[in-house]
Every structure is written in structure tokens, then in C-alpha cells.
Amino acid sequence: MPAIDPRRFGTDLRLLPALELVKSSRDPGHDLATTRRRMTGQAELDARTGADRLIDMDTYEGVDNLVQALLLRFLTPVGELAALGHPDYGSRLHELIGELNNQTNRNRAKLFVLGSLALEPRIRQVVSVDVTQSRANPTQMDIRVSALAIDQDTPLNLVFTFSL
């Protein structure tokens, strides 16, 4: 199989602080992330003016962008972006807020996640979705997703904690 072109997954602004540290659906991120970069000739400019590097918006690329996109899709109530022309974007997970963390609602969460994944064009196949009660907090569900992205043979694995 030819090498995977990471551009197939796109580039977007970094909206989540650290993909592996997203612990809760109620605390998805606070602000856009920034990075410091040098322009051509920046070292000479720094020496003359004492200026620091330029601040620019940080981005996610490739597979990291896909992971962020999936997490944002799960965190967004379906229909929230209808006015922007995306009526099906999001998930129905928000419907579970205030419900009991029982097997019926964990099955509903799995169904809602599968529905969202089916609408993501960069996901070729869902391998598995497992929803369990969080060991750390009985009012949270741990959602484990394993899926094959387009042009990949290795499954993409992510764990997302959803607060009821």
C-alpha cells in the first residue's frame, strides 16, 4: 500500500488543548491555541529589536486533525450548525445529560456515536464502539472508539469520557 498522505485528513485550528487529555465532555477546551514561529531573518530582527518570535494560531494536521474533528462532532449537539448549512453535524449524546448511567443509556450512547461516525466522510469503517461506566466517576461514561480512516489499515483508537 502506498504511503498515506496526511493532507487527506486536512488541517484545522487547534481547538482542543491536548487530544489525549480531553477528559470530559463538559470541559472540551477554552480557547484557540497559539504557537511561536520565526520568519525568515527573524534572528537578525530579534538581535536588533529584542523582539520575541511572532505568535501564530496553532493547528492540528493529519490524523490529529481527524481525532479533534471526531471529538468536536461528539461534543456538538446535532442540529447546532443547521444555520451554517450542516443540519446533520454533531451527535445526540447531549440527550443523555441528566439520565442514569445504566446499560440502556450506555447502549443509546453507543448508537449515537455510531450514527455520528457514519456521517464522518474520513471514516471508512467502524471497528468497534464500547461504552462502559467510568471507574473514576459513576456519572460518566467512557466511550472507546476504534475505526479505520480512509487510506489507513491501522485502526484509529480514541477514548472519550462523557458526563451525564
Domains in the chain, CATH or no CATH each: 6-163 (3.10.450.40)
The model's pTM: 0.72
Closest CA to 93 of 146, 131, 134: 131
Count, residues in the chain? 164
Instruction: Name the amino acid, one letter, at 84.
Output: L
The number of helix segments (H) and strand segments (E) in the chain equals 3, 7
Distance between CA 158 and CA 78 in Å, rounded? Answer: 21
Residues 6+ apart with CB under 8 A from 142: 131, 132, 133, 134, 159, 160, 161
Tens digits of pLDDT across the chain (164 residues)? 444 555 666 665 556 655 554 544 445 454 555 566 555 555 555 555 555 555 566 777 778 888 888 998 998 999 999 999 999 999 999 999 999 999 999 999 999 999 999 999 999 999 999 999 999 999 999 999 999 998 888 899 999 899 99
What is the structure's pLDDT at 148? Answer: 94
Q: What distance in Å separates the CA atoms of residue 66 and residue 123, rounded to the nearest whole number?
A: 9
Four-CA torsion 80, 85, 88, 91, nearest 10 degrees: -30
CB count, 10 Å around CB of 53?
A: 14
